[in-house]
Amino acid sequence: MAVEPLVYELSKAGRRGVRFPAPDVPETPLPAELMRERLDWPEVSEIDVIRHYTRLSQKNHAIDINIYPLGSCTMKYNPKINEAVARLPGFAGIHPEQDPGTVQGALELMWELQTMLAEIAGFAEAGLQPAAGAHGELTGVLIMRAYHRERGDLGRTKILVPDSAHGTNPATAVMAGFEVVTIPSDARGNSDLEKLRGLVGPDTAGLMITNPNTLGLWDEHIQEIVDLVHEAGGLVYNDGANLNAILGIARPGDLKVDIMHFNLHKTFSTPHGGGGPGSGPVGVRADLAPYLPGPRVRRVDEGESGRYEWFQPEKSVGRVHSFHGNFGMFVRAYTYIRMHGAEGLRQVSEDAVLNANYLLANLKDRYDVAFDRTCMHEFVLSASRQKAQGARALDIAKRLLDFGVHPPTVYFPLVVPEALMIEPTETESKESLDFFIAAMRQIADEVEQNPELVTTAPHRTEFKRLDEVGANRKLNLRWRPVAAPEPAGVAAD
């Protein structure tokens, strides 16, 4: 008998994973509007379910398996204590509509988190609502817009964005109704100060700058840049996605930056991407705090202790998230900050920068370096040399999968040809860094000796090269039983 491969569709009519005890209260029918004619749930046993998800997880790479040096997207190890704390019933079992008097602990955590974030980055206040870095950017630029409008300064229609910026920066500026003006990079990977002088003016609403930038470099003229934009009447937005390089070392607020978002998943170890909902709090200088999204939490001092309550900032740009943001992420980030303390956070950044420079120093003889400077928490190699030998950055990324390593970010930032953007993070041991170096060096050898081995990679993964564009364009994230026709009124995926 031929052995059939295990299938995705496991449902068998009548099979059960759970049996509920008979109710000990009278049964009450659900409201009719909540009922559906049919509910095509899979009928499976517990072991079917466990095996199904375990098998799926084995087909994928995860931060809990091996190094995940995804530059800019920072796959930081998610400490398990974060999960334990987030699952405490007092956090996991509450509802955002509850009377504030019954959820004082949750409100206190939010207040403490926003206070700690503001202090860490040198801002007067921080608001927690936005759900991701890009969402924080939009919130920040809406604040910028509201600030100029309120002053009647309506001619400020342009936002300056360096050419090394993450794509979300110009996209955000356009979504908020601004025109984007690109600042080129100079020969050292900074924003070109001279070009900026020529571009900034009375029509400048602000500048969105990432510092350290997406080349992994600290902008050597950051203070002059901030001053230049301020002198022209604009505001400076710092994309704080790379804050994990400077914790306890430099504070954007001290550089007179006006607004910044934090990526809790990049800096404060909350899960990223498919791993969970995000969070992108926004820090602001004091006079911009009234524009933050509301409601926000505030503390009302009562003698030794305090009480926490919701309030609506007077000039708020409005709500940007249902309820109060992704609370589970606040608990995780709070736990991470508390576990490390001020000294520990500084060490996080020192180790992240050290690890990145260790990789750079051990790879730069085999790969071209975009800008040969001491890097911050990440750096960008170029596979131009390998391209001339027959294998591109994408091929190198695919070959890394054969070593059980997640590839770095490729083809970003756009200013570097054949870019390989590498960020090890602080949590990798010297052994795991050495393993990555050895893999990258071996791949460089392979490209020289047998490029086909690399261009046809991966060889050891269950799936080979996927249609990544197709997967993006025709997203299908919803499981539906094979035989079941689409119920009327439900849009196709």
Distance between CA 483 and CA 493 in Å, rounded? 16
CA distance 87 to 93: 8
Q: Which is nearer to ligand PLP, 378 or 428 (CB)?
A: 378
Residue 214, interface with ligand PLP (CB under 6 A)? Answer: yes
Which parts of 87-186 fold into alpha helices (H)? 89-92, 104-121, 133-150, 168-175
Supply the DSSP string of 231-288, one letter for each residue.
Answer: HTT-EEEEEETTGGGTTTT--GGGGT--EEEE-HHHHS----GGGS-----EEE-GGG
419 vs 412: CA distance, rounded Å: 6
Shortest spacing between CB 421 and ligand PLP, in angstroms: 10
Q: Give min distance, CB of 283 to ligand PLP, in A.
A: 15
| Whether the Cβ atoms of residue 132 and residue 278 lie closer than 8 Å to each other | yes
| Beta carbon nearer to ligand PLP, 190 or 386 | 190
Binding of ligand PLP by 73 (CB under 6 A): yes
Q: Which two three-digit tokens encode residue 473? A: 């364009």
Residues 284, 124 contacting (CB under 8 angstroms): yes
166 vs 398, which CB is nearer to ligand PLP? 166
In terms of CB distance, is 272 or 392 closer to ligand PLP?
A: 272
Out of 210, 211, 238, 349, name the contact with ligand PLP by CB under 6 A: 210
Residue 125 touches ligand PLP, criterion: CB under 6 A:
no
Q: How far apart are CA 296 and CA 392, in angstroms?
A: 48
Q: Is 132 among the residues that bind ligand PLP (CB under 6 A)? A: yes
Q: Does 280 bind ligand PLP (CB under 6 A)?
A: yes
Does 217 sit near ligand PLP (CB under 6 A)?
A: no
Using CB under 6 A as the criterion, what x/- string covers residues 358-387 for binding ligand PLP? ------------------------------
Q: Quick check: 128 binds ligand PLP (CB under 6 A)? A: no
Does position 139 bind ligand PLP by CB under 6 A? no
**CA dihedral of residues 126, 130, 136, 140 (deg, nearest 10):** -60
Nearest distance in Å: CB 47, ligand PLP: 36
Secondary structure (3-state) at 488: coil
Nearest distance in Å: CB 72, ligand PLP: 4
Q: Which of 263, 270, 326, 425 binds ligand PLP (CB under 6 A)?
A: 263
Closer to ligand PLP by Cβ: residue 137 or 368: 137
DSSP state of 33: G
Q: Binding residues for ligand PLP, how many (CB under 6 A)?
A: 15
Only one of the segments 37-45, 131-139, 154-162, 362-370 lies at the binding site for ligand PLP (rule: CB under 6 A); that segment is 131-139
Give the three-state DSSP class for 147. helix
Nearest partner of 232 among 297, 116, 148, 307, judged by Cα: 148
In the numeric block, which tokens belong to residue 211? 């510092």
Q: Which of residues 224-253 bind ligand PLP (CB under 6 A)?
A: 239, 241
Residues facing residue 179 across a β-bridge? 158
> For binding to ligand PLP (CB under 6 A), which residues are involved?
72-73, 132-134, 166, 168, 210, 214, 239, 241, 263, 266, 278, 280
